Amino acid sequence: MRIAIDAMGSDKGSQVFIKAISDFVNDYHDVEIFVFGNDQDLVSLKGKNRIKIINTTQVINMNDGLLSLRRKTDSSMNRMLDYLAANKVDGVLSAGSTAGLLTCALLKIKLITGIDRPCLIATIPASKDRYFQLLDMGANSECNPQNLMQFAILGKKYAEVIYHKKDPEIMLLNIGSESNKGDKLHKEAYELLKNNTSLNFKGNIEGRDIFSGNVDVVVTDGFSGNMTLKAMEGTAFFAFSELKHVVSSSFVRKLAGLILKKSLKNMKNNLDYSKYGGAFLIGFEQPIIKAHGSSNDFAIYNALIRLHTIIKNDTINLIKKELL
């Protein structure tokens, strides 16, 4: 299995990739890695078994417009996607600009027939040791009802292939559970989803209920999805800073904090979506993973495992079969 990585454009610099890639290559013996970036930054990966460094001279950043994205032909992101387009690799990963990755990919990589827009899908832990898939997490800030319907189909298939869910329960993220709730987009999407008999559609769900462990796929437009994800991040971070405050406010509380330290840390990691294996840019004919810009090496490592699983399970071909 051949994987390409864009090692530039992360908020934390190229260093987070060094350990992640080394560990990943040690743990997964079937992979060969192509790392795109400034080779001065990647010198400690040089000469390692099954790792190849391709020196690039440009970096895609947050402010690059369409013209600039096209012109930066020697950027790590574009070069990585060129390898994918030419089938020199089986999948790619970047922690760079989401908009940049989406646009460059749309220019180079084919969409699955029947899908108008790719979107970002992430797996979120919930109660009862269950997970749910949230999509679109922010690839499309403007969506139409048809897009949401296609997201539902992609999410369903992803839950089936990767999480072995039979007939996954799909719900529409909305501001009320009744069928007549929400804006025009969500009312129309509700009707489309309800009338699609191939989907196990269970109606609207509110943000306060998505962690209940009673839903497999939560469908939303990219604007609302991104809003929701960031509110989740903000609240989790705030809850833990408050908790930290509590367990440092007296001697006995400090002691209690020490006893709970390891469990609390596990719990924090579970709720920290930036550490959570990245999001799959679903809808393309080839696998593209977007890791969070602020990912640490552990998060990049998890994102690589996610990509490995997607490739190994032939996920995209299985999605395509469903859409035929």
Binding site for its own copies (CB under 8 A): 62-63, 126-127, 138, 141-142, 173, 175, 178, 181-184, 206-211, 222-224, 226-243, 246-247, 249, 252-253, 255-257, 259-260, 263-264, 267, 270-271
**Nearest approach, Cβ of residue 286 and its own copies (Å):** 26
**Nearest approach, Cβ of residue 56 and its own copies (Å):** 25
**Nearest approach, Cβ of residue 1 and its own copies (Å):** 33
In the complex with its own copies, the residue whose CB is nearer, 10 or 224, is 224
- Residue the block writes with tokens 């950027």: 75
Contact at 8 Å (CB) between 290 and 104? no
Work out whether the CA dihedral 139, 142, 147, 148 comes out positive or negative.
positive
Contact at 8 Å (CB) between 212 and 169? no
In the complex with its own copies, the residue whose CB is nearer, 228 or 295, is 228
In the complex with its own copies, the residue whose CB is nearer, 13 or 234, is 234
Task: Report long-range pairs for 267-270 (Cβ below 8 Å, ≥24 apart).
Answer: 268/236, 268/240, 270/125
**Nearest approach, Cβ of residue 124 and its own copies (Å):** 10
**Nearest approach, Cβ of residue 11 and its own copies (Å):** 13
d(CA 20, CA 295): 11
The bridge status of strand 51-55 relative to strand 200-205 is unpaired
In the complex with its own copies, the residue whose CB is nearer, 74 or 183, is 183
In the complex with its own copies, the residue whose CB is nearer, 205 or 319, is 205
d(CA 200, CA 180): 19
